[in-house]
Each structure stands twice: as structure tokens, then as C-alpha cells.
Structure 1
Amino acid sequence: MASPFTPAELATMHPNDSRVTEIYWVYSVPIAAAILSTGLRLFSKHLGRNGIHLDDYLITVATICLIGQCASGLGYGPPHGMGRHVIYVSEYDKMMVRAGDFVFSHFYDLALVFVKLGILAFYWRVFVHPIFRKIVLAAAAFIIAWGIGITVTLFLVCRPLRAYWDRTVDGTCLTIVTFTYFTNISNLITDIWIFLMPVPMIWQLQLQAKKKLLLSLIFCIGLATCVVSSLRLTVVLGHGSPNFTWYYVPLGAYSVFEPLGGILCTNLPIIWHMMRKRKASLPHCNSASKTTSSGGHTPTIGSSSRRSRLAIALGLTSHDRTQNGSRMQTNVDNADTAQGDWEQLESMEHIAQPDPKIWATIEVEEDGPSEPLPPGMKRTVWNVRR
């Protein structure tokens, strides 16, 4: 049987060449990062007593899919020759690498679907604009249909299915490279669309321009996953290379860091906000908050707080979303403001005395004999309209 490699290509393949260490790092780091960030997200929301929402469940499922993706890469990869040149790998190990790629691809698709749905669920929770919510529902429906289509196609890619990884089985298969190109291009388009969706809504919030810009940058950080997806496209050709045990390594690396980027972009802002909220509840922070509120600034409650819900969710404002927190802060601010107004009115007492033709002055006497008051003290006086 003729070799699929040219003499020049065979000259570059050495038996000691190995990417095994790279594989272990590529698949171990995302597992740790995903578990740590999602765990901190759930723990932070527990501390903040904000409750667990749909987006938290979806990101948790995405994290589980990413762990399964990395575990399949570690289990089917290095033990069966992945990271070495294919000419030095046995036929059985080649079959196991292809079987691992089949399992890996399913976890990859599911991780992407649940990450996107988690981001869309977060949009639904923080934005209340009806038109925007319809756009979110339409995007979610497309992502679900895309995930179902990719999963079903992957199960039907070869007839019989075993022909996908066992080359000794006679069967017909779709062109894998074409299928992978379609997956990546459609995935890249939806990534760009999802991460740019909230930008117009952010600039309609009642916030300072620098906070709007900061919010936009937080969401545009998610575009880094689009860069990873674009880089993944550049190595898709390796998916069809005869030396697949060698070229699967960079393809697998981009495949795990793409959903990991989406998970981190949704987890880190929430962790940051919850930690700031926890820090603000400490005694020294509360005293600093009182000092700030005594300047006469009163938080806005009602429709403006709904419009600023995204900023509150990401910690760009110090006011709590909970009714108790809002009421307590409002009472403190109103009390401080009322105290300042009262002192100002007392300072004007000698300027504007009540008109005796309209108002009658009554002194309130306590039960018992009247006693002289200490110096500097006054009896309680009421001005009553005649």
C-alpha cells in the first residue's frame, strides 16, 4: 500500500517527536479553570442571597460538558498515540483516537450550545425591553436548532456509524472537513451576534458614558472566543490530514478553550460583582457608604432602577437590587438630607418669625409643677393656626 506522505514529509517525522506534555496542559488547565470559576460563581451568588437562576444552571451544564470534553481528550489521547506522528502509532490506537474524537466532538457541540444559551438567559434576566427579549428568544431557538442539527448530523456522518473510527468496516461517510468548516463558520457568526447583541441596549441605560463603555468592554471581552474560533478554522484542515494523531493536538486545544472562554466571560463579571457586594456589607464599608450618602445623593428607585438592572447585576452601581437594601439606603439618605434641611431651617429662625395674626404659640407643659430650665434649653413650642 502506497504511503500517503511524500519523502519530504516523512523526513520531518521523527520517533522522538511528542506533543504529549502539551496535551496534558491543554486539557488539565481548562478543567481547573472551569470548575473554579463556576464554583465561585455559585458560591458568590449563595453569599449574595440572589438565588440561582436559569443562566446559572445552563453554565453549570456547560462546565460539565467541558469537563467531559477534556476527560475524553485525556482518556483517548496520550494513551493511544495522540501527540505522536501517525506512522509510529498502531492501527488499534488510531481507531481509539478516532473514537475519542467522536466523543470529544459531541461534548464540544453541547458545551457551545449551553454556553450560548446561558449567556442568552442572562440577557433575558437583566434586560426587560420586549423587543430585545424577542430577539433573545429567536437567538435561543436558532442555537437549539443548530445544536440539534449538529448532533444528529454527527451521528449520521457515517453509515454504519462504526465506520467513523474503524477503517476496517465498509461504509460511507460525509466529508469530515466540510462538516467541520460548516460547524466553525456558523459557530463564529453566532458568537459575534450574541456578544454584540446587548451593546445597543447598554447605551440606552441611564449611566455615565464611562460606565456604558465599561459595560460594553465587559461584553466585548467575549469576542475573544470568536478569535479562538477563527484560529480553530485555520487548523481544521489538519482534521483531514493523514497525520491526524499529530494535528489533532492544536485542533483539540482550540476546541476546549473556545467554550472555556465563554464560561469565563459569563462567570467573572458575576463573581466580581458578588465579591464587591460582599465587601460593601462589611462594617468599614458601611460607614464609608454613610459618609457618601450624607452629601445629599438619593438613589433612584422605580423605572430607572429597572433600566440600570444590568449595571446592578454586574456591580457598576453600589445600590442593591433587593427591596430591603434599597429601602434602607433610601431611608439613610433621606434622613441625612432631612437633617441638613432641618438645620438650615433652624438657622433661619431669627429671620422669619410666624405671623401672630395667623398663628398662635402654645407651650407644652409636662405634668407636675413647672421647673426652671437649664441655661440654653427651651420649652417645646407649637405654632397652631388660628
Structure 2
Amino acid sequence: MASPFSPAEEAYLDAHKHESRVADIHWVYSVPIAAAALSTALRFWAKRLGRNGIALDDYLILFATFCLIGQCSSGLGYGPPHGMGRHVIVVSAYDQMMVRKGDYIFSHFYDLALVAVKLGILAFYYRVFVHTIFRSVVLATAAFVVAWGIGITVTLFLACRPLNAYWDATIKGQCLTMVTFVYFTNVSNLITDICIFLMPIPMIWHLQLQTKKKLLLSFIFCIGLATCVISSIRLTVVLGRGSADFTWYYVPLGAYSVFEPLGGILCTNLPIIWHMLRKRRAMNRSLGSSSKTHDSGTPTIGSGSRRSRIAHMLGITTIDGTQNESAVRIQNDSTVKGQNSEGVPNTADFHRLDSLESQKPDPNIWTTVERFDSAGPGAADGADELTPGMKKTVWNVRK
């Protein structure tokens, strides 16, 4: 059987046959598993913390995370144990077959992860923006993404006839030119990504917001363009798929194939996590300031202060059964005696006291308890009258 390598290539491979990329494969596939699983878990935790319901876009991103984990797991399971990351001249025929089989499984997970991420982003757009025309564009784009995903999945199933010829070189069959197929997949994927991530920009700039906030929102939605950069770089290594030394050149291609859906997952998870945590922090801050305001003011029943809670447990209330005005009255000596500054009773005070008498609680239900706020000569002697400057609190307590 003729060698697929030229004499110069054989000499190069023989001189570098001890090189290995196995260590790179381990971290390239392990880090995305941890990053995707952690960010998606935090997304659902933030949704639960913010008491927001789980929507369709959340389930799609969760499915994309599972696909990415399956993608990385197949790369780890079929890769390093069977010679991936080594030059093909030191890899047995059986291990080469297992690497190709792993690549086939890896490709299906890759396509499903991309479709799920795109649909998750579009579902988020549809939920957030209520403009009729924009929603129609979102639905049309989603239909194209679904058709694109079905097309590449079916094509991958029909890549070889019989299908075993895809990974088993001993089986004679007819196969598509995979380099052309991968180029079409990447170019169409890149165009779709650019359209999806730029889609909400016109909607943002029509909102009634400050220019600073519009720029910030546009930047957040354009973070996903980083995945377009990864897609562009991936196009430069697609040629390695057609190389005879595929066990060596699959490593960078697999790395970019993993980080592309990972970038989409992170770009959708991190803004939601950040928004939910900021919303929760603002809520806690407002509750804390409200509690401080109540504690710093005049203690009243139900204000949240320690005194009010104790009074409530003891059955003391400031509101009667008919929801009349508060029954706690802070009275100084002039209001108690009904006298003016010269010690002469005021007629207006008598009328006011008569009005207060008509509003007294029912004596069959309530009783009055008096308390001096500070000690004084009158209080020490048990006198009913107050010394100047003293205050007395009158509590109406349910019998």
C-alpha cells in the first residue's frame, strides 16, 4: 500500500514521532466542561434567587451545555487513549479507527450544541423584545437555524455509504469530501452568528434611554461576537481535517470546535447572572435602608424595632379595633392640664378635650396605663401631676 506521505514528510514525521499534544487535549476539553456546567448552574441559581421563572431560552442553554459536555467527553474518551495528539505513524490501525469514530460522535454533539445556543439566544430575544416586526425576524431566523441544523445532521449521517466507512478504512464505500462539508458548515455558521448577535442593536437604539446606557447594552449583546472570531480562526485549521496525519491535526480543530459553543454559552449566561445579582443586591440595599429608617424614627408598633415587637407580644397596640387614630398620646403638662402659659384654662382646650373624650376607646374593652418617661420629684412622690419639662405616655391596653 502506497504511503500518503512524501519522502520529506516521512522524514519529518520520523524525526518528530516522540512529540505529543496529549496534555493539551486534557485541559482543552476539561476546562470547557467545568466552565459551561458552572455558568449554567449559576444561571439557574440566579433565576431562582431573583424569583424569575425558567423560560424556554434557559432550557435551550441547558441542553446546549449537555451537548458541550458530551462533545468534550467524546474527545477525552476517544482521543488520548487511542493516540490522538500523537503523529499518525506511531498510532495503530485500530486506534486510528477509534479516533475517527470519536470524531464522528464529536461532530454530532458540536452541531447540536451550536443549534441549541443559537436558538437559546433567539428565544431570549423573543422574550425580551415585544416589537412585532422584530419578533417576526427572530422567528424567521430561528426557522433557518433549525433547517440548518437538520441539514448538517442529515448530511453527516449520509457522509459515507455504508456509514462504517467513515471511520473504518478497510471498508470500501463512497464518502463525501469532508473538508468541503466542514467549510460550508463554518461559513454558514459564521454568517448566522454575526446576524444573530447584531440583531438587537437597532432595537436598543430606539429605546428611550441615555446614550451611555445604549452603548452599555449594545456592548453586552455584542460580546457574543467573540465566538465569531473563534469561528474565523477555526476556518484556518479546517484543512488539517484532510491531512493524512489527522491524529495530530485534530487537536487544534477540536479545541476551536469546543470553545465556539462554549463562548456562546458564556455570553448568554454571564449577563443574566450579573443582572440577577445586581437586582438582588439593590433589593437588599433598599430593604436595609428601609429598616434603618424605621429604627431611627419614633418607635411605633409594627415598625420593626425591638420595643414594638415586645409591645406587640404583650398585646399592646396603637390601633383600635375600628382603625381609629393611634391611642398612644405623648402629653406635656400644658395639654394635660388644659391651661395656657399663664395657668388659665383655655376654652379651645376644653372643646378639644371634649372631642377627645368622645373618641376614647370603649372602657369595657380597653384600660389606660400611664408611664413617666423620666424620673422627677412628682414621679418619685407618686403624684399625678407632672413637673415642667416632663412627659407622660398613656397606653391603651386591651383588658
TM range (shorter): 0.7 to 0.9
Q: Secondary structure at the match of 2:115?
A: helix
Which residue is equivalent to 2:56? 54
**What's 1:341 paired with?**
none
CA distance in 1, matches of 2:127, 2:52: 12
Ranges in structure 1 where 5+ consecutive residues have no aligned partner = 292-362, 376-386
d(CA) in 2 for partners of 1:127 and 1:82? 46
Q: Distance in 2 between matches of 1:257 and 1:176?
A: 21
Partner of 1:76: 78
- Residue of structure 1 equivalent to 2:320: none
Tell me the alpha carbon deviations over residues 362-383 of structure 1, each in whole angstroms, 9 at most, x when there is no partner.
x9761449xxxx99xxxxxxxx
- Name the CA distance, whole Å, in 1 between partners of 2:103 and 2:355: 90
2:323 is matched with none
In structure 2, the CA distance between the partners of 1:212 and 1:6, relative to structure 1 (3 Å rule), is same
Partner residue, 1:100: 102
Looking at structure 2, the residues matched to 285 and 30 of structure 1 have their Cα atoms a distance apart, in angstroms, of: 38
Is structure 2 residue 276 aligned with structure 1 residue 274? yes
Residue-by-residue CA offset, 1:253-281 (whole Å, 9 max, x unaligned): 00000000000000000000111112122
- Runs ≥4 residues deviating over 3 A: 283-286, 288-291
Q: Identify the residue that residue 10 of structure 2 maps to in structure 1.
A: 10
Other-structure match for 1:345: none
- Corresponding residue number in structure 2 for 1:316: none
SS for the counterpart of 1:282 is: helix
Deviates more, 1:9-18 or 1:230-239: 9-18
Contact 1:97–1:245 under 8 Å retained in 2: yes
The CA distance in 2 between the partners of 1:368 and 1:260, in whole Å, is 76
Match of 1:164 in 2: 166
What secondary structure, in the 3-state scheme, does the structure 2 residue paired with 1:246 have?
helix
Match of 2:92 among 90, 112, 115: 90
Match of 1:114 in 2: 116
Deviation of residue 166 (structure 1)? Answer: 0.4
Q: Partners in 1 of 2:238 and 2:287 — Cα distance?
A: 52
Match of 1:174 among 168, 173, 176: 176
Q: Deviations over 1:83-128 (max 9, x none)?
A: 0000110000000000000000000000000000000000001000
Q: 2-side partners of 1:289 and 1:178: how far apart?
A: 66
| Alpha-carbon distance between aligned partners in 2 of 1:275 and 1:116, rounded to the nearest angstrom | 25
**Pick from 199, 221, 224: which aligns with 2:223?**
221
Deviation (angstroms), 1:171: 0.5
Task: Tell me the equivalent position of 1:184.
Answer: 186
Give the distance between the partners of 1:85 and 1:285, measured in 2 at CA: 63
Cα distance in 2, alignment partners of residues 290 and 140 from structure 1: 50
Instruction: Structure 2: give runs of 5+ residues left out of the alignment.
Output: 294-350, 359-387, 390-399
- Tell me the equivalent position of 1:244: 246
The equivalent position to 2:126 in structure 1, one of 109, 120, 124, is: 124
The one of the two structures with greater contact order (alpha-carbon pairs below 8 A, sep at least 6) is: 1
Mapping of 1:321-336 within 5 angstroms?
Answer: none
After superposition, the Cα gap between the structure-2 partners of 1:47 and 1:224, relative to the gap in structure 1 and judged at 3 Å, is same
Q: TM-score scaled to structure 2, two decimals?
A: 0.73
**Identical residues among aligned pairs (%):** 76
State whether structure 2 residue 368 is matched by structure 1 residue 366: no
Q: Which stretch has the larger CA shift, 90-99 or 12-21?
A: 12-21
The one-letter code sitting in structure 2 at the alignment partner of 1:245 is T
Q: Which amino acid aligns with 1:11?
A: A
One-letter amino acid of the structure 2 residue matched with residue 6 of structure 1:
S
106-115 vs 207-216, which deviates more? Answer: 207-216
Letter aligned with residue 235 of structure 1: V
Structure index of larger Rg: 2
Alpha-carbon separation, structure 2, partners of 1:285 and 1:72: 49
Q: 1:200 to 1:283 in 2, by over 3 A?
A: closer
How many Å separate the matches in 2 of 1:4 and 1:182?
26
Counterpart Cα distance in 1 of 2:290 and 2:193: 41
Please name the residue that 1:332 is paired with: none
Distance in 1, Cα, partners of 2:292 & 2:229: 45
Query: Is this contact kept in 2: 1:279–1:285, CA < 8 A?
Result: no
Out of 144, 147, 154, the residue aligned to residue 146 of structure 2 is 144
Structure 2 counterpart of 1:181, one-letter code: Y
Alpha-carbon shift at residue 284 of structure 1 (Å)? 6.5
TM-score normalized with structure 1 length: 0.75
